[in-house]
Structure 1
Amino acid sequence: MPLAYPPSDYDVHGHLKAPVLFWLILLFQARTWFLLVLAGASRQQGDALLGLFYPDRDNFWLGLLPGVPAALAFVISGRRHLWPRLWKVWRWVLVVAQIAVLAWQLVLLGQGEELTGLSLALLTGDVYALWWLLTSRRLKDYFALRSE
């Protein structure tokens, strides 16, 4: 039976490797966690950095929530063959988290938050991430643990 993808797209165990865009979307979903690490690493400018992206600190703490499924995807992706049922539904967990981020951004904009270049870029990125999570055949195959 012919392979659905080039041989270089499979690991040594014959499992499909994750698409590079998948890792970038996980980082994008966990952006508040990334910001937290940056703020912690730059102690003097950390508070100013958090204030730049999250003037309302309550939004910062809420922003950590959607990053949890992405962080867990990083952790379990290397052992996905040990929890195949969990792994098969995890794509949908990431989709739900992405929908929650989009809805949250739209609610904030509806409540009068200013539409800046940064917020427009994040909104555009979130729409693209949701579209890709829903439509990528390669990602579907990766989560289905298909090796052929």
Structure 2
Amino acid sequence: MKSTEFHPGDYDVHGRVRLPFLFWCVLLLQARTWVLFVVAGASRDQGNTLLNLFYPDHDNFWLGLLPGVPAVMAFLLSGRRQHFPRVWNSLRWLLVLAQVVLLVWQPLLWFYGEPLSGIGITLVVVDIVALIWLLTNPRLRASFALVKD
């Protein structure tokens, strides 16, 4: 039975709660290194320059791919979440954990000598907002509930 706490437009044709638009934005935020990787691969000539601009230390690039793995998994499973209900349910907590890792990672980079920049400060603020949203949004929580078909 459908919950009455959401607008009827928040449900898809199968009666499942639709994923909020901000969910996709959070996935892009978490998978930012993956997005950079794809963009660098698509722009063959400037790809190496682009990677060096954002990740002068190549070890940070490869480490930056790790927190994006849950976001990539969520993107891939979002259309078939009813077929993997337990995986989908636990994926929310993986996304929260990945967001915490991203939130802690940037200040650690500053602590180890990376210069303070406006982009870094912006990422920390956006990471804080994304973490709060992941933890408190009721529609997101409902869309990650175990689906029984």
TM range (shorter): over 0.9
1:117 is matched with: 118
Instruction: Quote the Cα distance in structure 2 between the aligned partners of 1:116 and 1:104.
Output: 14
Instruction: Quote the Cα distance in structure 1 between the aligned partners of 2:136 and 2:6.
Output: 17
TM-score, length of structure 1 as denominator length: 0.93
1:34 is matched with: 35
Matches within 5 A, 1:59-70: 59-70=60-71
Residue 83 of structure 1 aligns with an amino acid whose one-letter code is F
CA contact (8 A) 1:16 1:145 kept: no
What is the deviation of 1:5? 1.2
What is the deviation of 1:3? 2.2
Query: Is residue 14 of structure 2 the alignment partner of residue 13 of structure 1?
Result: yes
CA 1:2/1:23 → structure 2, altered by over 3 Å: closer, same or farther? closer
CA contact (8 A) 1:15 1:145 kept: no
CA contact (8 A) 2:82 2:147 kept: no
Matches within 5 A, 1:125-144: 125-144=126-145
In structure 2, the gaps of 5 or more residues are none
Matches within 5 A, 1:88-127: 88-127=89-128
Can you list the C-alpha shifts for 1:96-116, whole angstroms capped at 9, x where unaligned? Answer: 111111122121111121110
CA contact (8 A) 1:30 1:70 kept: yes
What is the deviation of 1:27? 0.8
TM-score, length of structure 2 as denominator length: 0.93
Can you list the C-alpha shifts for 1:73-98, whole angstroms capped at 9, x where unaligned? Answer: 01111111112122111110000111
2:52 is matched with: 51
In structure 1, the gaps of 5 or more residues are none
Instruction: Quote the Cα distance in structure 2 between the aligned partners of 1:2 and 1:73.
Output: 23
Residue 6 of structure 1 aligns with an amino acid whose one-letter code is H
Q: Which has the higher contact order (CA 8 A, sep 6+)?
A: 1
**What's the secondary structure of 2:45's corresponding residue?**
helix
CA RMSD of aligned residues (A): 1.6
Residue 45 of structure 1 aligns with an amino acid whose one-letter code is Q
Instruction: Quote the Cα distance in structure 1 between the aligned partners of 2:42 and 2:86.
Output: 37
User: How many residues end up aligned between the 2 structures?
Assistant: 147
